[in-house]
Amino acid sequence: MAEKQINGVGLLQQYWCIVFCIYLQFNSIAVAILDPVDFLALQSIRKGLDDLPGSNYFASWDFTSDPCNFAGVYCDSDKVIALNLGDPRAGAPGLTGRLDPSIGKLSALAELSIVPGRIYGALPQSISQIKSLRFLAVSRNFLSGQIPASLSQLRNLRTLDLSYNIFTGAIPASIGTLPELTNVILGHNRLSGPVPPFTSKSLTRLDLKHNDLSGTLAPNSLPPSLQYLSLSWNRLSGPVYGLLNRLDQLNYLDLSMNQFTGTVPGRVFTFPITNLQLQRNLLFGPVQPSDQVSIPTIDLSYNRFSGEISPLFSTVQNLYLNNNRFTGQVPGPFVDRLLAANIQILYLQHNFLTGIQIKPTAEIPLSSSLCLQYNCMVPPVETPCPLKSGKQKTRPTAQCNEWRG
Greater pLDDT, 91 or 171: 171
Q: Is the pLDDT of residue 319 over 80?
A: yes
Q: Is the pLDDT of residue 300 over 70?
A: yes
DSSP 195: P
Q: Is the pLDDT of residue 139 over 60?
A: yes
Average of per-residue pLDDT values in the chain: 92
Segment 129-151 mean pLDDT: 98
Q: Is the pLDDT of residue 214 over 70?
A: yes
Segment 133-156 mean pLDDT: 98
Question: Could you tell me the pTM of the whole model?
Answer: 0.91
**Confidence (pLDDT) at 20:** 52
State the Cα angle at 319 between 325 and 359, rounded to 5°: 80
Q: Three-class SS string for 46-74?
A: HHHEEECCCCCHHHHCCCCCCHHHCCCEE
**Confidence (pLDDT) at 24:** 47
Percent helix / strand / coil, the chain, rounded to 5: 25, 25, 50
**How sure is the predictor about 17, in pLDDT bands with cuts at 50, 70 and 90?**
low
Task: Name the helix (H) or strand (E) containing 15.
Answer: helix 11-26
Rounded (10°) CA dihedral 389, 394, 396, 399: 80
Q: What is the pLDDT of residues 21-56, one digit of tens each?
A: 544 444 444 345 999 999 999 999 999 999 999 999
Residue whose C-alpha is closest to residue 371's, from 351, 342, 357: 351
**How sure is the predictor about 8, in pLDDT bands with cuts at 50, 70 and 90?**
very low
The long-range contacts involving 374-382, CB below 8 angstroms and separated by at least 24 positions, are 374/349, 374/350, 375/348, 375/349, 375/350, 375/351, 376/327, 376/352, 376/400, 376/403, 377/353, 380/356
**Confidence (pLDDT) at 92:** 86
**Confidence (pLDDT) at 395:** 96
Q: What is the pLDDT of residues 95-132, one digit of tens each?
A: 999 999 999 999 999 999 999 999 999 999 999 999 99
What's the length of the chain? 405
In angstroms, the CA 222 to CA 57 distance is: 40
Residue whose C-alpha is closest to residue 46's, from 38, 135, 287: 38
**Confidence (pLDDT) at 14:** 53
Q: What percent of the chain lies above the pLDDT cut of 70?
A: 92
**How sure is the predictor about 404, in pLDDT bands with cuts at 50, 70 and 90?**
confident
**Confidence (pLDDT) at 302:** 98
Give SS3 for 358: coil
**How sure is the predictor about 90, in pLDDT bands with cuts at 50, 70 and 90?**
confident
Q: List phi, psi (to 5°) of 97.
A: 120, -165
Segment 299-303 mean pLDDT: 98
86-90, 138-142, 173-177, 401-405: which has the minimum mean pLDDT? 401-405
Are the CB atoms for 323 and 348 separated by under 8 Å? no
Q: What is the pLDDT of residues 367-402, one digit of tens each?
A: 999 999 999 999 999 899 999 999 899 999 999 988
Segment 290-316 mean pLDDT: 97
Are the CB atoms for 254 and 229 separated by under 8 Å? yes
**Confidence (pLDDT) at 23:** 47
Q: Are strands 118-122 and 79-85 parallel, antiparallel or unpaired?
A: unpaired
DSSP 394: B
Task: Evaluate the CA torsion angle 177, 166, 134, 105 in order and state its sign.
Answer: positive
Neighbours of 377 (CB within 10 A): 18
Segment 1-21 mean pLDDT: 46
